[in-house]
Structures are given as C-alpha cells and as structure tokens.
Structure 1
C-alpha cells in the first residue's frame, strides 16, 4: 500500500500537468475563428459575462489553393466568473460558471496565408444553446455554403494562357 501512494501522487501530478486549455490545442486558423466570435460576443450589449472556448462540435475546411482556405467551425463557449471585458483570461483564474447555458457558435470565413480575409465578410452566429432552432441551424449552413460557392475564386482550370 505504501509503495502505491507515490505512484498515485505521480499519476495525479502528471494528469494536472498534462491538462491543457482546449483553446490552445486548436490550430492557429481555428483559434482565429474563436477569437472573432469572442470579440463579437464581448461587444454585444446584452452579454453580461466573459466567455471562454469549451469545445468544437464540428469543423470543415476547403482548400482553394494558392494559400486560400474556407473554414467552418461549430463550437461552444461557456460563461466564466470573470467580468465582461477580461483579456488574456487564465483558465485557472476565469473558471467556468455552471449556472449559465452554453453559447452555441458557428463561424465561417476565408483565410489567405493563415489570416482572416475581410471579403467575403466573415460570418459569426452565437446564441444561447436552449434558444437555437432548426431554422437557425439551416440558415447557418446555407450562409456558409454560399460564402464558398459565391467566392468567384479562380481555379487552375479557369486560367487560360494566351
């Protein structure tokens, strides 16, 4: 029994040290989308809490070539105990609240060289999870599909020499 205690302590320390903020595990491109949603959410007058990224539900990426990508991400944000407007939120300081519903967000945007492009305008839709309707989900999907198809981006097949 005494020999098992140091092993148990070692395992507990390993778990704590290995626990990372899920936001930091995202690629830079997807972190940019989460940052965009957090920025828009924090400027909304009706939002009273500081939010942090919780987890991704779904994501998709279309590589159009020439360093251009279209990204879609559906994820959850969760309210924290930190006041609205908090920056550089430390996960150990800004702990999640369990008395508020999750914020369900969908973002889609175009990147070039890993930077969000202003055209087409990035799409951000966040709403409290219980208020999300099937119509909203359909609208999100359709908007993001149009963004990719209406881009008018040239492809190698449309480039003519001459």
Structure 2
C-alpha cells in the first residue's frame, strides 16, 4: 500500500547565496545583505500558508571563525529584520556546523548526516514540522542542496542569482 502524506507544506531555503549575499562565513548582522527579492519571497511563502525554513551548512563554526551563539544571534536578528520589512518570520533555522578535519575537534565528523549533500537537516525539518516532502520545495544555490533535496524526497530548484522572487513564479 502506498503511504499517503497529509502533512504541511514548506519552502526550505539554503541561506548563504539564496537569502543573503554570500560574503564567506557570515555571522554578524552588519554584514547581512538580503538577496534581491528574498524578504518578499519569504512573505509570499508565508501568505500561501507554507512554512519558511532555513537549512544551512555552517562550517565557519567548525573552523573556529565564530560559534553557535553568534549564529543564533544572527538568525534572531534576521527574523527581527524580516518582520520589520514584511511582517513575517522564518519558522525554523537548521544548521550543520560539522566538517571533515575540522580545526575545532568537537565539530569534526567525516560525513555528518546533516551536512549537505546529506539530507539530515531536511529530514529533521520534515519530522519536526509534520511536513509532506512531496509538497515541499528546496531552493538552493549549489548542487549539494539539490542532492539533499532529492535524498529527502523534496523537489529542488537551483537558484542562479538575480531576484529570488522569480523562483516561485515558475
């Protein structure tokens, strides 16, 4: 018998290069620059009744450039800024700080299940929020994002730059 999903729908976003300009190991609010159309895209997702969830590799933690406290503070600021701009908030942030041969030993892992292209973060989001993978979309800017989406049973769309709001028009 085929499993029937009646879960919720979400758009899962990679962060750097999709929601914000990728400046490399971003962890300070003053360095955040929204990608064109990103706040409006998130607002559109929320208006349609979908969840907006971020799934992001954050190897800067494993490299010792910043810690998880900085990351959580940045994500809180992102939500405050987004709410100020659009009246909505991102529903959840998932991050993977693990990296093979990480300088910070606590985050060294040869192939962590959460590190994209592995689907761990997406699978946790699906489980945590009762999502139907078949009704979800992952927007990312790297092949590893698309591989993670496929492995989680989620449709993936590759963002190649420009205005993010165009991703939902297709």
Bucket of the pairwise TM-score, normalised by the shorter protein: under 0.3
| Greater helix content | 2
**Length-normalised TM-score, structure 2:** 0.27
| Greater strand content | 1
Rg larger in structure: 1
**Length-normalised TM-score, structure 1:** 0.28
Structure number with greater CO (CA < 8 Å, separation at least 6) is: 2
